[in-house]
Amino acid sequence: MAEPLKRLPALPIERALKVISGRWKAVILFHLFDGSKRLSELTRLLPDVSQKVLIQQLREMEFHGLVHREIFRQVPPRVDYSATPLGLSLEPFIMSLCEWGRRHASELGDADELSDCALANACERVSIRSS
């Protein structure tokens, strides 16, 4: 596998966006905020993501220190993924983006088109807590 990002930009905002960009990274991290998950759990939580893409996104986040992978030497082999402290530090930003997405949909009259998934429900809980 080629290195995900050999050289990161010097501009902090550009660096941050480069590290967290990817269609599924924020959603994967969101699910890891609740604790470690096995690959099979993440696959079940993210049915629209192929296993190949899921593993690629997890490896990139591991490379950048956002995700920790723990391998258990047992039969059958078990691998758990968890958010590192650096990954967990993104939680307020990801939840803010989620809330912004809800507001954006509401402004454009698309609120009824939003998915009623765990992520959307969690955004609602954050919105209620911050009120």
Residue 110 placed within a domain: yes
Q: What is the pLDDT of residues 12-33, one digit of tens each?
A: 999 999 899 989 999 999 999 9
Asked if 76 and 120 sit in the same domain, the reply is: no
Rounded CA separation 38/103 (Å): 32
Q: What is the pLDDT of residues 82-126, one digit of tens each?
A: 999 999 999 999 988 888 888 888 899 887 777 755 555 555 555
Domain of residue 59, residue span: 14-84
Residue 8 placed within a domain: no
Rounded CA separation 10/18 (Å): 11
Residue 46 confidence (pLDDT): 92
pTM for this entry: 0.78
pLDDT band at 5 (very low <50, low <70, confident <90, very high): low
Helix, strand, coil percentages, rounded to 5, for the chain: 55, 10, 35
CATH code at 59? 1.10.10.10
Residue 37 confidence (pLDDT): 97
